[in-house]
Amino acid sequence: MFKISIKIDDQSTYGVDLEEEYSPSEFIDVFEKHIMKIKRLSDSAASSSDTKQVLRFETNNFFDVMDARIQKMSGLLHKDHKTMRSYEFEKNMKGGQGFIWLAPRNRYLWVYFKKLDFSAFDKEKKIIDDGSTWGEYPLMKVHDQKELKYALELAEGTYKYHQLHSSK
């Protein structure tokens, strides 16, 4: 595997992890997705060159999968920051609107969750919730596909929990 970077503007680059070999259909799928992202980023950079809200972090496969799943959840807004993407609930709710934060770290993904008691969700005890993390938010570090699947389950459980409790 090797990596290339595309310079979006003076402050932003987009990184792509590439395999050594692709089938023709895989090649087309992978590169079409990256081309679409690069076009969006470069259009965004051009239209907001005087603002600082340009995507500055590099995504990876874990981020892309998790982001796509979260984007399908209704009632959420997302915002890009220097090192991560945050998602929040559209409507105000007790305990704040923040839902989940995705922070790509090279080939891995750090997932910060809304503060709540994870004992009902985290059966495998993969959440770091000892107050030692950024903002003391519960954190799960994703290093492989199994952990990604588990992080998605935790995100969906958290989302359902808040949907249920916000309707009361």
Same-domain check for residues 66 and 138: yes
Over residues 31-56, the pLDDT tens digits come to 888 888 787 777 766 655 544 444 56
Summarize the confidence of residues 155-164 as an average pLDDT. Answer: 84
Summarize the confidence of residues 96-121 as an average pLDDT. Answer: 87
Same-domain check for residues 37 and 76: no
Which amino acid, residue 162? H
157: CATH: 3.90.1150.30
Cα 70 to chain centroid distance, Å, stands at 8
- Please indicate, yes or no, if residue 94 is contained in any of the structural domains: yes
Strand order of the β-sheet with 85-89 is: 76-80, 85-89, 98-105, 108-113, 139-142
Same-domain check for residues 109 and 32: no
Summarize the confidence of residues 121-140 as an average pLDDT. Answer: 88
Same-domain check for residues 76 and 157: yes
Over residues 5-23, the pLDDT tens digits come to 787 776 667 777 788 898 9
Domain count across the chain: 2
32 burial class (0-12, 13-18, 19+ CB within 10 angstroms)? exposed
